[in-house]
Amino acid sequence: QVPLVESGGGLVQPGGSLRLSCAAIRRDLFVAGWYRQTPGKQREMVATIARDSTGNYADAVKGRFTISRDDAKNTVYLQMNDLKPDDTAVYYCKGYRMGYDYWGQGTQVTVSS
């Protein structure tokens, strides 16, 4: 069973918005943030969120993306505004449990006119 379930990707025009969701199926799995990857490149951090909901962002997305969490639903969201073609990637959420990393299955975000 996939420990992290992502949703919300899709095709959007430049300047548009999307909201990604990542739900952990276990209450003791801490959802820590979002990463993205394009073909031939390493996976890179997009945004992380601490237990107190403090967000940390990659320079490329500061001011456009907002990460948030709903502890009651054990879900982390990534609100993406003013999307650019360079934001096109597969987005993965990452979680931690008992010293191990867990990844979602990935959701494709395509920004194109």
Tokens 């996939």 belong to residue? 2
CA separation for the pair 113, 110 (Å, rounded) = 10
Q: Tell me the backbone φ, ψ of residue 78, rounded to 5 degrees.
A: -130, 105
pLDDT at residue 1 tops 80: no
- Cα distances (angstroms) measured from residue 104 to each of 14, 21, 28: 26, 11, 16
Selected residue with higher pLDDT from 52 and 2: 52
CA separation for the pair 81, 83 (Å, rounded) = 5
User: What is the rounded average pLDDT of the residues 60-71?
Assistant: 97
What is the DSSP annotation of 59-74? GGGTTTEEEEEETTTT
Write out the two tokens for 103. 């990844």
Could you tell me what percent of the chain has a pLDDT over 90?
96
